Structure 1
Amino acid sequence: MEEYKELAEQLARAKTIAVLTGAGMSTESGIPDFRGQNGIYAQEDNVEYYLSEHYFTSHPVDFWHRFKRMFSLKMMGTFLPNKGHIFLQALEAAGKKVTILTQNIDGLHTKAGSTNVIELHGTLQTATCPICSQKYDLSFINSQDVPVCRQKGCGEILKPDVVLFGGIVPRIDEAFAAAAESDVLLAMGTSLEVTPVNHIPFYVTSESPRTYKAIINKTATRMDHLFDLVIHHSIGDTVSQLRAYMAELR
């Protein structure tokens, strides 16, 4: 358990923490890993084509039918934060500056109470009118087969507030800066396969060698060698151990 103690000590000392999270962060909440055995890639064909900017623009009605099915949008509001999300919120509540850089679109970090969340791939919780920029929540999106803007004289089909394939990743420069400025960069539940987000560990290694880097993921990644500490275990069990060791340090 020495690696748990080491990470607990690093987190206890840190004033600023950047946390890079991926799909594995939310699997313990019941949301399938995007590329896992029960994820979208395993259940659907041509995912990147049908979830692209081009397909939304060309076939918005069919896009929404597929989008709602792929992401089980009717269920999305029922998922709850798990031990991992709650642990990160607790670090913030303890007075640390915690910036969450998440690839997830489920909104669970915000639901857990974390206040500084950069949703790099957007969110499933809202959709926006491409014409008048009016924003609508998940309940409204689910109330219509194909959600359209209700602003007077508009009626445009809404666009989900997620980064579609071929789209631009917002706030990526802010994410790189937050990671490099942190005392600890903690990656959780990410295979580090998706660009440009997976360049963050490289950037921190190059630009901020003082930053301590750790990764918690069930399986090995191609970038494990970039981290000072690697834990291949479930997030829930790991944060329970970290909580216990950090309590001893008080």
Structure 2
Amino acid sequence: MYETVALHLKSSESITVLTGAGVSTASGIPDFRSSEGLWTEDHDREFYMSADYFFHDPEDFWKKYKAIFRIKLLDHYKPNVTHQFIKRLESPNREVTVITQNVDGLHGLAGSTNVIEYHGSLKGATCPNCLESYSLSHVMSFETPTCGSCGEYLKPDVLLFGDMITAHEISEKAVRHSEVLLVMGTSLLVTPFNMLPHYAKDKTTTILINNEPTPSDHLFDYVIHEDLSTTVEKLSEFFM
């Protein structure tokens, strides 16, 4: 199967890659939503990481936000072999669009050219009043970061519970126009991200690589249940 999957990837002129938390776990970033992930340790986290709570108590929100997402360690995380493999898929004759649930910015660090951060990014914050943007270094310089222009509390660029998802339409378009849809490291449980594979056309080759079965396995032409790093190493042999 690996040779067949690799052949589809190599012969395609357009690939859309959907990635989830499983892609970043090899970089040391916890999978917050897995059965052993950090989200299961405290069921109140969704409440605290909501837009409602941010506007209710921005000071306490920022304290919890920085702790939950381990913001101090963010610069320590580096792209792993899966990020690098996805970057290697790009070529002058092959367009690759990455649509990621991850907010760690590692696809960009790996050099992927076209990345849609479906759930936003931990790499900065924006003033909800004047829309001025600020870097992660600015965010980390203050316990509760505020806007230098108007003084409002900054809101992180990561999508909070209750926020509107703005990247779905462009993501749907990318899936519809791809020859190959490659889904990696996601259980496809989060709505509406899990609807994206449904937009693949009949002529699109669909591939799922995840370490455990998902409710959407039946949607794919090829399904591999294996550790991502191991699978990527096997596929890479056909790209030598």
Q: Which band: TM-score by shorter chain?
A: over 0.9
CA distance in 2, matches of 1:220, 1:47: 26
For residues 100-249 of structure 1, what are the structure 2 equivalents within 5 Å?
A: 100-151=98-149, 154-204=150-200, 208-247=201-240
Tell me the alpha carbon deviations over residues 114-140 of structure 1, each in whole angstroms, 9 at most, x when there is no partner: 010000100000100111111111111
Give the letter for the 1:246 counterpart. F
Q: Please give the TM-score of this superposition, normalised by the length of structure 1.
A: 0.93
Structure 2 match to 1:43 = 41
Tell me the alpha carbon deviations over residues 21-47 of structure 1, each in whole angstroms, 9 at most, x when there is no partner: 000010000000011355331333312
Runs in 1 of length 4+ with deviation above 6 angstroms? Answer: none
Structure 2 match to 1:76 = 74
Tell me the alpha carbon deviations over residues 79-115 of structure 1, each in whole angstroms, 9 at most, x when there is no partner: 0000010011111146410000101000000000001
Structure 1 match to 2:88 = 90
Shift of 1:62: 0.8
- Stretch of structure 1 that moved more, 169-178 or 93-102: 93-102
Would the aligned equivalents of 1:103 and 1:120 in 2 still touch at CA under 8 Å?
yes
Give the letter for the 1:30 counterpart. G
Give the letter for the 1:32 counterpart. P
Where do 5+ consecutive residues of structure 2 fail to align?
none
CA distance in 1, matches of 2:79, 2:181: 21
CA distance in 2, matches of 1:44, 1:110: 30
CA distance in 2, matches of 1:38, 1:146: 30
CA distance in 1, matches of 2:68, 2:59: 14
* 1:88 to 1:156, Cα distance in 2 relative to 1, 3 A: same
- Stretch of structure 1 that moved more, 129-138 or 114-123: 129-138
Structure 2 SS opposite 1:230: strand
Number of aligned pairs? 240
Structure 1 SS opposite 2:237: helix
Structure 2 SS opposite 1:33: coil
Structure 1 match to 2:5 = 7
Structure 2 SS opposite 1:75: helix
Structure 1 match to 2:62 = 64
Shift of 1:53: 1.1
% of aligned pairs identical?
46
CA RMSD across the alignment? 1.2
Structure 2 SS opposite 1:176: helix
Shift of 1:70: 0.2
Structure 2 SS opposite 1:57: helix
- Stretch of structure 1 that moved more, 176-185 or 87-96: 87-96
Would the aligned equivalents of 1:40 and 1:47 in 2 still touch at CA under 8 Å?
no
